[in-house]
Amino acid sequence: MCEDQAANGVIYFEARYSPHLLCLPGGKLNATGVVEAVKRGFDRGEKKFNVKARSILCCIRGLGQYADDVLQIATDYRHLGVVGIDVAGSSGGADEQYESKIVEIFQEAFKRGIHRTVHAGESGAAKEVEKAINVMHAERIGHGYRVMQDPEMYKKYFLDQHRIHLEACPYSSVMTGAVPLDWKNHPIATWAKDKVNFSINRDDPTCFDNTMTSELHWAKDKVNFSINRDDPTCFDNTMTSELQLVKDEIGATIHQLWQCVSTQLNAAEASFLTDEEKKPIIEKIRAAEPSLSD
């Protein structure tokens, strides 16, 4: 994973996964062992590929029996590569469909100072996003496209304030039916115009065979967006060649391309790293900003 991310110019990523779905009940490897194994792999990858990697542990809708364990592992390993928790899984199109146990876990995570991102507003409606923010104390929303169904809510949480970060994944949003196949009216086009706090990410790469580069091209070519960055992932100078190619071959101006990169600045600032760890990543992104004479 570190090798793949580095090959796409990524310098930091947060991998989210359910440790319980990566081990067999009653087997020799338990959920804690999965997290430890991932940490060892990330440690090797960081040294070999010069990329920083952290873990976000997922609760799963319909599998609330694992939620307590997710919280405990996130607590025990919060200084050993685990930076937060998430909840994933299908909502079945229903509003606010989070088991009471999972809601309790997120409320306790908030009390413990463990970072929280919540899949919401992808297949469920806008009320799901509101519950994630107000009841589950979400700092970031995974997807969140259907908040656009409620203009008042959109204004309240994403226009009037910029505290909550939206993690957009263009390719999967269409492939899963989360948004209509109407690229020019995709929510991220509005978010970009409104200067909402969001970033472009990849979703389920083993399912969609996508990369950060391909997600950027979807945003550029389909949504008529400039070029931009799941989880949050940030770009180093190795992305410069990709941007230069789009500038030369497609004719985008350097300032249009910067619109995309600056969205990744949102991603860096919304990451679950400490402020000290964020600083060099943010500085690298800011250093890429073109001058007015470019």
| Catalytic residue annotation | 122
Number of Cα atoms under 13 Å in the Cβ half of residue 46: 13
- Residue matched to tokens 């592992």: 73
Q: Minimal CA–CA distance to 98: which of 118, 114, 122, 68?
A: 118
Amino acid at 21: L
Largest CA distance in the chain: 63
Angle in degrees, 0-180, between the axes of helices 254-270 and 240-250, rounded to the nearest 10: 150
Contact 2, 12 (CB under 8 A): no
Alpha carbon distance 240, 137 (integer Å):
36
Give start and end residues of each alpha helix (H) in the chain: 2-7, 31-49, 67-76, 100-112, 126-134, 151-154, 170-175, 187-194, 205-208, 212-221, 240-250, 254-270, 275-287
Alpha carbon distance 160, 157 (integer Å):
6
Two tokens at 242? 């990709």
Give how far Cα 106 sits from Cα of 1, 48, 157, Å: 28, 35, 19
Amino acid at 61: R
